Structure 1
Amino acid sequence: MRISVAICTWNRSQLLQRTLERLCELDADDRYSWELVLVDNNSTDDTSQVIDRFADNLPLRVVRETKQGHSWSRNRAIAESTGDYIVWTDNDVLVCPQWLSAYYDAFSAEPEVAFFGGVIDPVFDPPGRPDWLGATWEKCHPVYAARDLGRTPVELNEHRLPYGANFAVRLDVQREHLFDPTLGRVKSGMMGEDETHVLRRIARSGGKGRWVPDVRVQHIVPADRATEKYVRSYFIGQGMANVAFNKPCKQGVAALLDCVCQSLLYRIKRNRTDPDEWVSHLIRAGLSWGEYSASTGSRTEK
């Protein structure tokens, strides 16, 4: 068996270095071969120099995708991959030593399964997770891609899916279900849902999914993302996705008015009430702004 690991990156060289350092520590074995397909999506920082440092230590295949956007980069990774399976992770992820071998075990045990996913555990860089975020973790954990469906290898389906930092797809299936370039992040934009859209289509077409509890990664959260501003930005992206997928939501003037109202309530209550209350207004303000900007065609994520 041959496995393709895919990472798409744009201007996150310091985090990417940590990711590649951890990949060097994989407990890979001779039951399978693997390659690392690394797609550089027009980075302007020192990403190329960072990648060069690992040329002798990882089975790297580096390609450059000039069309800007995560979905374009993912489709390029699919085109370049030569494995039987493609395993997706991100440029801010630390894999466990058994990560790839655990995937291999799952692939071998159920070759008819189309897609797989595993645990994502956020790890906050110093000074750590702020108290307000810990108090509202039930609301905010999707912002940081936290995902753990337990120790039982349960079935995955269109209502229970893995997250983008840690999932795998049979390459023949993946090539039938490419990523939609109108979805996914572009540069620093926050509109996601690209992998969710693909995995739902696979499931709806009859593809089986499997949760793999031993496939574990840590998701690095830099200090500048453990902020109220970043939480709001994430939910702006979710609001934009609501419109893209025709989910029930406010649009146009109604969304704008709700954003203004929720933003005022957030500012008024920020230092007067428990975090659970004011964070709810922060989230709602972000969603409404995303719904407004997407429904009016402005696509702004300010």
Structure 2
Amino acid sequence: MTVSVLICTCNRAARLARTLDYFVNLKPVGYTADLVVVDNRSTDETAQAVRDAASRASIPIAYAYEPQQGKSFALNHGLRLATGDVLALTDDDVTPAPEWLDRIVDAFRGSDITFVGGKVLPLWEKEPTADLLTRRGQDIWGPLALVDYGDAPFDYTLDGAGQRLPVGANLAFRRAIVERIGGWRPDLGKVDNTLISGEDHEIFLRLKRADAYRGVYRPDVVVYHDVPASRLTPRYFRRWFFAWGQTAGLMLDDLYGFVNRADVPHVAGVPRFLYRQFAAQILQWCRTWTMHDPLERWVEQLYTIRFVGLIWERWQLWLRQPARRLFERRALTEATPAP
């Protein structure tokens, strides 16, 4: 089996060098590996950091430059260069556990799975509050890019609320499957300082449509992710959840693919049923003010902010598309019963 590891990076040369140390010391047994580092318009010493690592490593380490800003552009560039049977993704601020790549290979070997994910555990710059480490606190770990679904393996599903998915800091695919469905969607994923993401979630939805959604969570596939103190602030959490809502706005047709847009009345670019859900979420948040549970109040506030981001993004798209506004007015008129 062959594995290509892909890291996309931008202006984190010093931290990237620490991540690359893992691959400098990597000595695969029973498989071959290579690393592709895609530099997404860095202005620091990223290229030199990769060259230094390549000169010391026993596996091939390739450097590529992607001039189009955006994580999905960088991922697709790396996909074009990758040659391994397995494409393993991690980040430039991650420290893989010693047997990380070995365990990924074990998961794929002898199985028909198309992807595998594992734990993303924290390396805290500053200790978090105790409630963030509770089970309920883990429901808002999204801004921290952490994953810990326990110590038992399970098959991933995409059905129902509360679904559990891997994140790009610790995720591996069969490369041929990702190529078959067209790689990553370029309008999703972080660009410059934005927090819009969704590139991994969206690719899972396409795997589902292609009848290729066969993934497993392996608790022994572990990486450690830096969590800077700046990510623990209320302001960052609010920004992230607003951006998560914007991402949902961009992915609306994917997330609600079972809904025929022509049959659903829209108001200012937003399906009318989402306004009802937004109102219900506001009510849920208001109810927490009668409870003596600051964490629950905080969680529901963040979920409300997510709805604000979703509706805001849909409004922006609607304002930029006059033809769609005409279509939606007609649909709303037809759906409104005559007096």
Please give the range of the TM-score, normalised by the shorter of the 2 chains.
0.7 to 0.9
CA 10–290 in structure 1, closer or farther in 2 if over 3 Å, else same: farther
Cα drift, residue 189 of structure 1: 0.9
Counterpart CA distance in 2 for 1:156 and 1:131 is 29
Match of 2:113 in 1: 113
CA 158–4 in structure 1, closer or farther in 2 if over 3 Å, else same: same
TM-score, normalized by length of structure 2?
A: 0.75
Superposed CA offset, 1:229-252 (max 9, x none): 211121121111221122589977
Superposed CA offset, 1:126-182 (max 9, x none): x32245644762342122222233333322233443211111111111111210001
Q: Please say which structure displays the higher CA radius of gyration.
A: 2
Counterpart CA distance in 2 for 1:133 and 1:156 is 24
Match of 2:308 in 1: 288
Are residues 1:221 and 2:227 paired? yes
Are residues 1:172 and 2:176 paired? yes
CA 210–132 in structure 1, closer or farther in 2 if over 3 Å, else same: closer
TM-score, normalized by length of structure 1?
A: 0.83
Match of 1:104 in 2: 105
Cα drift, residue 273 of structure 1: 8.0
Q: Please, which runs of 5 or more residues in structure 2 have no aligned partner?
A: 257-265, 320-339
Are residues 1:241 and 2:247 paired? yes
Tell me whether 75-84 or 49-58 shows the greater mean CA deviation.
49-58
Alignment check: 8 A CA contact 2:117 2:221 kept = yes
Map 1:1-302 onto structure 2 (within 5 A).
1-26=1-26, 28-58=27-57, 59-110=60-111, 112-125=112-125, 127-131=126-130, 133-134=132-133, 137-159=137-159, 160-177=164-181, 178-207=183-212, 208-246=214-252, 274-278=294-298, 280-285=300-305, 287-289=307-309, 291-297=311-317
The one-letter amino acid paired with 2:235 is K
Counterpart CA distance in 1 for 2:309 and 2:217 is 34
What's the RMSD between the two structures over aligned residues?
3.0
Alignment check: 8 A CA contact 1:89 1:167 kept = yes
Alignment check: 8 A CA contact 2:143 2:231 kept = no
Counterpart CA distance in 1 for 2:222 and 2:48 is 28
Q: Please, which runs of 5 or more residues in structure 1 have no aligned partner?
A: none
Identity %: 31
Alignment check: 8 A CA contact 1:70 1:184 kept = yes
Local SS of the residue matching 1:56: helix
Alignment check: 8 A CA contact 1:19 1:94 kept = yes
CA 279–149 in structure 1, closer or farther in 2 if over 3 Å, else same: closer
CA 155–293 in structure 1, closer or farther in 2 if over 3 Å, else same: closer
Cα drift, residue 297 of structure 1: 3.8
Local SS of the residue matching 1:121: strand
Superposed CA offset, 1:243-268 (max 9, x none): 1122589977999xx8xxx8xx99xx
The one-letter amino acid paired with 2:86 is Y
Superposed CA offset, 1:189-224 (max 9, x none): 111110111122113322221222211111111122
Counterpart CA distance in 2 for 1:289 and 1:155 is 31
Cα drift, residue 20 of structure 1: 1.5
